[in-house]
Amino acid sequence: MRNLILAVSGLALGVTACSTSTSAPPLGAPPVAALSVTLPSATLLVGQSQLAAATPRDANGTPLSDRTISWRSSVPAIAGVDAAGTITAITPGTTVISASAEGVSGSAGLTVVAQPPVPVSSVSVSLSASSVVAGQSARATAVVRDAAGNSLSGRVVTWQSSNSGVATISAVGDISAIAAGTTAITATSEGKSGSATLTVTAPPPAPVASVSVTPASASVQVGGTQQYTAVTRDANGNVLTGRTVTWASNNPGVATVSGSGLATAVAAGSATITATSGGISGSAGITVTSSQTSTPVFSDDFESGNMSKWNESDPTVQQVVNDATLAHSGRYFLRLTYGINGADASWLNKYFAQGFTQLYVRYYVRFSSNFVGGTKLVALRGAPIGQPSGGVGRAGICPNGTDFFSSAVVNDFGDTYPTKMYSYWQDMWADSNGQCWGRYGPTPSTMPYISPMPDLAKGTWHKIEFALRMNSSASTSDGQQTLWVDGVKYGEWKGIRFGDPALLNLGVLTISGSGNTTQIQSVDYDDLILTTDYPSQSQP
């Protein structure tokens, strides 16, 4: 056996090999005494290859050619080597590449390292849903690509929400929606970022399951008010806030209700106040009582069957009719007939010696279906105190403040203001002949009435209410009068100086049948009541 020295040049690893030749050298050639292995690089990347070189030498160190070289790798799974010495790196690790010739070997160490990762060129983000409701969740996914657009795996991705008050995101891309708004969901890998916009909407409000109204019932005098409140609740009985509530009255002639739940008593009777939210309703009752407190000073429902309560009447054109099917109530009602011999229906007068400074009259009236033209209905007349008859028969005369005043409810079908007040008062204006005729307003161009004003339906009973209050002193214009039709205020006239209240007062109630017609037509009256009230609202 011989000791041989193996020299490795370049990047080769020097080793000493001891061997006995297993093959004979060519005839006459010196045997291989040493063999060196040279690698172009002691390190390869996975997938790379290189050609190893083996140099056999004789005992004098002279390179020998034409010798057969065999190759092997100590760990072929890390790097393999073929018969020509071509090395292929397979997986990271270390191995020894050996060459042998004639029983003499040499080797060099090789390290295989993983390929460096391809740099990230772009990051794209997709969301499982671009819009979610607060309280819900979503999932964000990032795709990392190289410059060629190839998807890269195994890269570290970090996540961020630009507005964590709207939504948060975990390290693995799980999104939790917090509150309504928008936020950018961003993924970052190796300095490159991509994002997607997430919209968070408020959760839909819980549906209204019940509406309760308080108070459950109320009793209010005419002209008074009652505040109602509504509470909305869900199916679990939880109070819901911020819900829109609409209010309605099933009988606005008795009580109206505002958009805020404030009910106003209009006339005596009952009504239901309803609050509605989200299609669900709740209700409460309201009972309206009359604000009238004084005892009537006169009334006539004509159930006596005659006109005996009146100081003056005309049975030729006025009669009490006995027909319960036509009366407003009871069996009897008063009928005034126009057109008999081309005449009007005259009048009925009721005198009050003591007189009053304010009066309210309510009655029901019905026009025959063929009625045309106009007529006075009911009048309240002022006269010298203790001389009530002095207040009648004053047409064309201008009041001087000490002799009379008068105001009537008149109706004229087809007029702009069909049902209105017709007044004589101290400060009224005369016509070009110096005469005064009843006026419908404080000035020729001022009409204190609702507009548009509908005609009264013929053949139907209508409730007429009229209140008059005298001025408080001879020099004060604070008198007023108000007209209601079927519970609706048709007109209110204020600032009137009727006359001197120290000398005049209201002493006459008149049902008037004035009007010219050649056809037979009628007006019916029933359930008349006169009090000393001056109500602010329609009365029952």
Q: Are residues 483 and 379 in the same domain?
A: yes
Distance between CA atoms of residues 467 and 489, nearest Å? 11
What total of structural domains would you count in the chain? 4
Residue the block writes with tokens 């100081």: 311
Q: Are 194 and 182 in contact (CB under 8 A)?
A: no
Q: Phi and psi dihedrals of 391, rounded to 5?
A: -90, 0
Q: Which spans in 34-134 are helix H?
A: none
Q: Are residues 474 and 374 in the same domain?
A: yes
Among residues 78, 113, 148, which one ends one of the domains? 113
Nearest to 344 by CA among 148, 201, 522: 522
In a domain, 10, yes or no: no
One-letter amino acid for residue 442 of the chain: P
Among residues 256, 289, 322, which one ends one of the domains? 289
Q: Are residues 131 and 276 in the same domain?
A: no
Q: Are residues 369 and 511 in the same domain?
A: yes
Alpha carbon distances (Å) from 309 to 129, 227, 314: 87, 44, 13
In sequence order, what E strands does 114-157 have?
122-127, 131-133, 137-145, 151-152
Q: Are residues 191 and 241 in the same domain?
A: no
Alpha-carbon dihedral of residues 385, 408, 348, 534, nearest 10 degrees? -60
Q: Are 520 and 357 in contact (CB under 8 A)?
A: no
Structure-block tokens of residue 524:
């019916």
Output the tens digit of pLDDT for each of the chain's 540 residues: 333 222 333 333 333 333 333 466 777 789 999 999 999 999 999 999 999 999 999 999 999 988 999 999 999 999 999 999 999 999 999 999 999 999 999 999 999 999 888 999 999 999 999 999 999 999 999 999 999 999 999 999 999 999 999 999 999 999 999 999 999 999 999 999 999 999 999 998 899 999 999 999 998 877 788 999 999 999 999 999 999 999 999 999 899 999 999 999 888 889 999 999 999 999 999 998 776 567 899 999 999 999 999 999 999 999 999 999 999 999 999 999 999 998 999 999 999 988 899 999 999 999 999 999 999 999 999 999 999 999 898 999 999 999 999 999 999 999 999 999 999 999 999 999 999 999 999 999 999 999 999 999 999 999 999 999 999 999 999 999 999 999 999 999 999 999 999 999 999 999 999 988 889 999 999 999 999 988 877 877
Distance between CA atoms of residues 467 and 329, nearest Å? 23
DSSP code, position 173: -
DSSP code, position 459: T
Distance between CA atoms of residues 185 and 195, nearest Å? 5
Determine if the peptide bond prior to 452 is cis (ω within 30°). Answer: yes
Q: Are residues 133 and 107 in the same domain?
A: no
Nearest to 93 by CA among 78, 108, 77: 78
In a domain, 193, yes or no: yes
In a domain, 25, yes or no: no
Question: What Rg value do the Cα atoms of the chain yield, rounded?
Answer: 57
In a domain, 332, yes or no: yes
Q: Are 312 and 389 in contact (CB under 8 A)?
A: no
Distance between CA atoms of residues 272 and 352, nearest Å? 41
Largest CA distance in the chain: 176
Q: Phi and psi dihedrals of 389, rounded to 5?
A: -65, -15
Structure-block tokens of residue 201:
């909407």
Distance between CA atoms of residues 236 and 239, nearest Å? 9
* HEC profile of 356-381: ECEEEEEEEEEECCCCCCEEEEEEEE
**Full residue range of the structural domain in which residue 267 is found:** 210-289
Burial 75-108 (b: 16+ CB within 10 A, else e): eeebbbbeeebebbbbeeeebbbbbbbbebbbbb
In a domain, 18, yes or no: no
Q: Are residues 320 and 426 in the same domain?
A: yes
In a domain, 1, yes or no: no
Among residues 271, 289, 307, which one ends one of the domains? 289
Note the residue count of the chain: 540
Q: Are residues 139 and 95 in the same domain?
A: no
In a domain, 9, yes or no: no
Which residues, other chains included, contact 2 with Cβ-Cβ below 8 Å and sequence gap of 6+? 18, 33
Q: Are 118 and 74 in contact (CB under 8 A)?
A: no
Q: Are residues 81 and 134 in the same domain?
A: no
Q: Are residues 315 and 193 in the same domain?
A: no
For every residue of 293-342, DSSP letters joined together read -SPPSEEE-STTSS-TTSSB--TTTEEEEE-TTTSSSSSEEEEEEE-GGG
Q: What is the pLDDT of residue 20?
A: 36
Structure-block tokens of residue 61:
């160190």
Distance between CA atoms of residues 528 and 330, nearest Å? 13
Structure-block tokens of residue 432:
């070009």
Q: Are residues 325 and 473 in the same domain?
A: yes
In a domain, 14, yes or no: no
For every residue of 181-214, DSSP letters joined together read EEEEEEEEETTEEEEEEEEEEPPPPPPP-EEEEE
CATH for 247: 2.60.40.1080
Which residues, other chains included, contact 236 with Cβ-Cβ below 8 Å and sequence gap of 6+? none
